[in-house]
Structure formats: structure tokens, C-alpha cells
Amino acid sequence: MTLLADARLVLPGGVRRGALRVADGRITGVDVRAEPGEEVVDLGGRYVVPGFVDLHVHGAAGVSYQSGRPEDARCVAAFHLAHGTTTTMASLVTGDAAELRTAVAGLAEAAADGIVAGVHLEGPYLAAGRCGAHDPALLRDPDVTEFERLVALGHGHVRMITVAPELPGATDLIRAATAHGVIAALGHTDASAAATAAGFDAGARVATHLFNGMRPLHHREGGPVTAALTDPRVTLELINDGVHVAAEVVRLVFGAAPGRVALITDAMAATGMGDGDYRLGVMEVHVRDGRAVLAGGSSIAGSTITMADAFRRAVLDVGLPVERVAEAASLVPARTLGLDGRIGSLEPGKDADLVVLDDDLAVARVMKGGRWQ
């Protein structure tokens, strides 16, 4: 047993000064006292938050999940783990049929080994006018047969797919995904509010990086933003990097949809690498001053942040309470994946996945499954 003493525990109900006990890879007690003979780690008043859960991440450390190689998946996941992300999805951008099959099959192996929590297909069923950093030449209308082949290759590890609800066949695709236990997300879309709402009614439950890659909100046609904000069934992904969404808009979304915001990174291969030239799928990306854009254009091509960066920015720059940010970085995404019975908050019986933050909210230590990383 290990007791993490003198900690500021960030719990679902607020922040409490106390101690947390870990044994056999799980949290066994909160706000407890030391027992004779147990190891005590004095945290000196540092914050302890649940391990971050990232629904949407493409890469880091110079490599990408897109390759499908398990060794690349290990590299990406290890980088983000060092920055507090104890549970990560592996997101794929649009590719041709052969590329996606290869990537899904390889990542299914990584998921089976516990490296990633599953595969997120961001495409290829996206709107050309809102494709962002996806190759428009590879976009196609929803194809249930192709999707089901990918699900079969994933051996149960394809967990989410982003689709534009206005495309022909989108409703059938959403229903097929739901039937297979795959989360349908709506994004990269030019849909009206009504068409987006129809997608949610068909079973979609996530808005992929809200505001980005979708028709903007207008006071006479709210589009996908309004449909997602006003539907209590929907998880709202937000990229809080200071580039994708302004701080005041982040505050607005948290206020409008309490308990439904999931911070994501949408991190690509340049994360942790500095400025330079990279690739996102088949697209060339230039990173300058930490901002990733498509070569020869202005479309943002993912981010270069970690979840720790998003967390710190949400508290210090956006001005949100630390417990609400912990909810958005951990519990909401865990609930979206159906994993909140095991991870996402500091509660007895859950996995000992946690992050120790100093007074400036920088990562000091990371624990996964009761082991310091």
C-alpha cells in the first residue's frame, strides 16, 4: 500500500486537502490516515487529479498513429503518458481503403496490448467543404460495407468514427456504428442544425472538435454548433490550445453545457518536437511558433499541445475552476468511452491513474495502474 499524503485532491465535488491510498493498482481510500508500515509519499500540498483521458489524438514525438505500426503507437502513447494522459485513443485521418485497413489492423494489436484505448476513425466520410487537413481527394460518401470491414479488422477496438451527417448514407452509417458499439461523432460538416440534430437522433453522441471543421454558428441558422450545444446527450470536444478556440468561447461552452465538455488535444506528430515540417496522413504540415497549418494554406492541421497544456490553459488563461477542468480532461471523456466505472475520477475502486501537479499546474509525477511512470 502507498499513501499519497498532504495532497490537494481534485474530486468530483471540489478540492480537498488530504491523503489518498493506492493498493494493488487501485485507489482504495480517499481522505484517509496512514496505517502502520505503509509507504507514505508526502506531496507537500501538490494537486492530485485523475489521469487525463484523450478522445482525439493523432501523434507526438515525430511519429503518428496513422502508420499503424505498434512501435509508433507505443512511442506516441508513451509521450502523452509522460504528460499525464493515462488513457488515449488513436485517431486516424482520412486515407484510402488500403491505408485505413493497415492502420486499423496494426492499432488493434496496440489496443489489445493496452497501449491505446481504441481507434478513432476521423473520416473518410467528411464534407469536402469542411475537410480541413484531410485530403479532399480521399473523401467519400459513407459506405457501411467498408466501415464494417474496418470494424472486423479492429477486433472490437474501433471505438469511434467521425462522419458528416448531411452526406448520402450518413444516417445508415451512424446506425451501423451504434449497432456495432462504435461511438458515432459528427464533425467536418456543413450540415444545418436540423440535419445535425437528425444525426444525433440516429445515435451520434459526440461533436468532433466543436467549432472547428464545421459550419459556424449564425443567429438565423445555428448549424451543428447549436445542435450540439443544446442536446444533453452529446459530448462536446474542445481543443483548448489558444489557437482553435478563443478563451472566451471556451468559457461560453463550459457555461452552456456543464458536464458535457471533453478537452482533447488533436495532437499531431509535431507535438514535443518544435517547429518544422511534418506530415498528417498524406498532407504536408508546417509548424511555426507551435501552430500547425497545411503547407501552402491557412487550414489548421491539428495541434501541438499535450493534455497537460490544455488543462493548465483552462485554469490559468480561461479561468475555470480546477475541478471542472479535471472533469473535462478525465471524467467526461471516460464516460463517453463507457470507462467511467474504472477511470476518470479519484474514487475508491477505480484504477490508480493519476497526475500530480505543482502550484503552477505543471506535471510533477504520473501514476498509471498504481505505478509511477
CATH of the domain at 325: 3.20.20.140
Q: Count the Cβ atoms, other than its own, within 10 Å of residue 342.
A: 14
**Any domain includes 342:** no
Q: Is 320 in the same domain as 304?
A: yes
Q: Is 182 in the same domain as 277?
A: yes
Instruction: Return the pLDDT at 127.
Output: 97
Q: Is 107 in the same domain as 213?
A: yes
266 assigned to active site = yes
Give per-residue pLDDT as tens, 157-167.
999 999 999 99
How many independent structural domains does the chain possess?
2
**CA end-to-end distance (rounded Å), the chain:** 17
- Identify the active-site residue in 54, 241, 266, 351: 266
The SS3 of residue 224 is helix
The SS3 of residue 112 is helix
Give per-residue pLDDT as tens, 261-291.
999 999 999 999 988 888 887 778 888 888 8
Residue 316, φ and ψ in degrees, nearest 5: -85, -35
Band (pLDDT 50/70/90 cuts) for residue 128 is: very high
Is 256 within 8 Å of 227 (Cβ atoms)? no
Q: Is residue 297's pLDDT more than 90?
A: no
Q: Is 179 in the same domain as 328?
A: yes
Instruction: Return the pLDDT at 292.
Output: 82
Q: Is 6 in the same domain as 130?
A: no
Q: Is residue 2's pLDDT more than 90?
A: yes
Q: Is residue 119's pLDDT more than 80?
A: yes
**Any domain includes 88:** yes
Q: Is 200 in the same domain as 62?
A: yes
Q: Is 35 in the same domain as 159?
A: no
Write out the residue range of the structural domain in which residue 21 sits.
2-49+348-372
Give per-residue pLDDT as tens, 174-219.
999 999 999 999 999 999 999 999 999 999 999 999 999 999 999 9
**Any domain includes 247:** yes
Supply the mean pLDDT for the chain. Answer: 96
Give per-residue pLDDT as tens, 232-267.
999 999 999 999 999 999 999 999 999 999 999 999
Measuring CA to CA, which residue among 220, 180, 227, 222 is closest to residue 206? 227
d(CA 315, CA 322) in angstroms, rounded, equals 6
Q: Is 322 in the same domain as 262?
A: yes
Instruction: Please state the rounded mean pLDDT for residues 125-137.
Output: 93
Instruction: Return the pLDDT at 279.
Output: 80
Cα→Cα distances 252→15, 234, 318, 331, Å: 23, 16, 10, 20
Q: Is residue 221's pLDDT more than 80?
A: yes
Q: Is 305 in the same domain as 274?
A: yes
Band (pLDDT 50/70/90 cuts) for residue 299 is: confident
Q: Is 365 in the same domain as 331?
A: no
d(CA 265, CA 59) in angstroms, rounded, equals 10
d(CA 350, CA 334) in angstroms, rounded, equals 12
Instruction: Return the pLDDT at 286.
Output: 83
d(CA 30, CA 43) in angstroms, rounded, equals 15
Q: Which residues of 252-261 are buried (b: 16+ CB within 10 A; e: fewer)?
A: ebbeebeebb
